Amino acid sequence: MGRCVPVLALLASLATAGEGAEVSTRTPCRGAERLGALTYLTDGSAGAAASVVACEQAEEVLVEHGWRLPHAIVRIEANPFDATARPAEIALSSAATPADNAFALTEKLVLLSLASSAGVAPVESMARTVAVHLAVPSAAGLATVEDEWLAKVGRGDVLTTVLPELLWRNGGDRALRAAVTGRWPDAALVALRDHGCEDPLDAAGELVLAALLRPALLGFGARPLAPATLSAATRSSDVSLSSPGARFLVLPTGAGALGVEPLRSDEGAAAWLAVRYSLTGDYDVIRLNEAHELAVPLQGVEWAAVVVVSLAPSAHVSLNLRVISDFPQQLARWDFVATSGAASLAWETERHRGLAAYVVEALSRSSDGAWSVAKRVLVPVADDGEEPYGYAFVDPEGDNIAAYRLLALTEEGLLGEVSTFPVPPD
């Protein structure tokens, strides 16, 4: 979830209110329409006073974004759930940070606004989506929200994760408000198209794949989902979904290659191949097409999966999987020499097929053990793959290189590891 520029700023010094003080909301900025008003009850602490400032600023941002704020009492106290205290619609803790209280207030106000007109739409998730995008990065609750969001995607949930996020990314608050006025998720798909999202299914697939491969693309600080955490994983090549969602067919890795061919894909569903490579964590994604087999090299792959996403009430995707031997090449030999910061690599193929080029990576390794690509060189292949052919690579400047890796690049853009060559220490 991408985040807006921070909108909440705490004052350098804050006056402490009296015990049980009642603070009214400030006059909204000129041109903003306020249909409701909040009244704050505090315990008089400095923490509560700071939270009032942050919450008032959150109110102003919501008004600027077109949200209808209700009349409500907000209590900010050390024990906001004290049953003997004056009743309040929203209870916040004066021990929490102002940024976290502003986040919680934003979520609760949007929820109250959406719930008044929503049917079966997931208004809690939609309100949280708004709060995340309007929150300051320092809000500690954001990390918890990210983890929960990713875990839901791993369970195959797209209705309360991906769709609200897509609505925000394509139409912001307006798209979210429009999506709650009709049948869910149909109204969400209509709102997406009305706001310029021509292919909601493809866009939904991109967000699911980002959760699997690189959450940083969503603005997350969390790690990618591991295959073991995908509770929506399946072992069957016939993938059925009884409602909108995602399923993950995790492929075996290690050596060899696998042919993946979609035999049937219902309208409203699509399938992608996702591959994460070993050591560097780089990845590739290819959308699968019916009646076209995709050859997937599995050596040097950390994990690979077919990701099926559906936005239809029900859908079925059928896949044909077969083992492919000696793909993409059959090697006759290789030679590797590394001395005094220089390295040379030579290899000979007996034949190759479906191969676009070879890739040689020079890898460095940090003190914490993380691998990174220091340089990458593309070596074109011979036109005739049925005849033996020799190749060579020389690196005259190999200082600080821990290993070299030889990869075969297929015509469809996937990499298969031929071998990794560690550089001996000086």
- The two tokens of residue 351 are 């034949």
Q: Are 40 and 130 contained in the same domain?
A: yes
The pLDDT assigned to 86 comes to 79
Q: Are 55 and 82 contained in the same domain?
A: yes
**Per-residue pLDDT averaged across 398-413, rounded?**
93
The pLDDT assigned to 119 comes to 67
Instruction: Give tens-digit pLDDT for 290-305.
Output: 879 999 999 999 999 9
Q: Are 34 and 117 contained in the same domain?
A: yes
Helix (H, G, I), strand (E, B) or coil at 423: coil
Q: Which band of pLDDT confidence, cut at 50, 70 and 90, is reported for residue 336?
A: very high
Indicate the residue among 134, 165, 181 that finishes a domain: 134
* CA separation for the pair 67, 190 (Å, rounded): 21
Determine, yes or no, domain membership for 106.
yes
Q: Are 360 and 417 contained in the same domain?
A: yes
Q: Are 234 and 158 in contact (CB under 8 A)?
A: no
Determine, yes or no, domain membership for 189.
no
Q: Are 320 and 336 contained in the same domain?
A: no
Q: Are 315 and 250 contained in the same domain?
A: yes
Determine, yes or no, domain membership for 301.
yes
**Per-residue pLDDT averaged across 237-259, rounded?**
93
Residue 390 maps to which CATH number?
A: 2.60.40.10
The pLDDT assigned to 23 comes to 53
Instruction: Give tens-digit pLDDT for 97-154.
Output: 999 999 999 999 999 988 876 567 899 999 999 999 998 877 888 888 999 999 999 9
Q: Are 27 and 114 contained in the same domain?
A: yes
Q: Which residues is 247 bridged to in the sheet?
A: 308
Q: Share the mean pLDDT of the chain.
A: 88
Q: Are 293 and 344 contained in the same domain?
A: no
The pLDDT assigned to 28 comes to 36
The pLDDT assigned to 32 comes to 32
* CA separation for the pair 373, 362 (Å, rounded): 6
Give the per-residue SS3 of 9-74: CCCCCCCCCCCCCEEECCCCCCCCCCCCCEEEEECCCHHHHHHHHHHHHHHHHHHHCCCCCCCEEE
The pLDDT assigned to 118 comes to 58
Q: Are 389 and 410 contained in the same domain?
A: yes
Q: Are 408 and 391 in contact (CB under 8 A)?
A: no
Determine, yes or no, domain membership for 181.
no
The pLDDT assigned to 26 comes to 40
Indicate the residue among 324, 351, 372 that finishes a domain: 324
Residue 274 maps to which CATH number?
A: 2.60.120.510
* CA separation for the pair 316, 328 (Å, rounded): 31
Instruction: Give tens-digit pLDDT for 306-329.
Output: 999 999 999 999 999 999 988 898
Determine, yes or no, domain membership for 188.
no
Q: What's this model's pTM, rounded to 2 decimal places?
A: 0.86
Determine, yes or no, domain membership for 215.
no
Q: Which domain holds residue 65?
A: 22-134
Determine, yes or no, domain membership for 12.
no
Determine, yes or no, domain membership for 2.
no
* CA separation for the pair 406, 247 (Å, rounded): 33
Q: Are 77 and 108 contained in the same domain?
A: yes
Q: Based on the structure, what is the number of domains in the chain?
A: 3
Question: Phi-psi region for residue 211, left (φ > 0), alpha (ψ -120 to 50) or beta?
Answer: alpha
Q: Are 159 and 185 in contact (CB under 8 A)?
A: yes
* DSSP at 228: G
Q: Which band of pLDDT confidence, cut at 50, 70 and 90, is reported for residue 11?
A: very low
Indicate the residue among 134, 150, 172 that finishes a domain: 134
Q: Are 301 and 403 contained in the same domain?
A: no
Q: Are 130 and 26 contained in the same domain?
A: yes
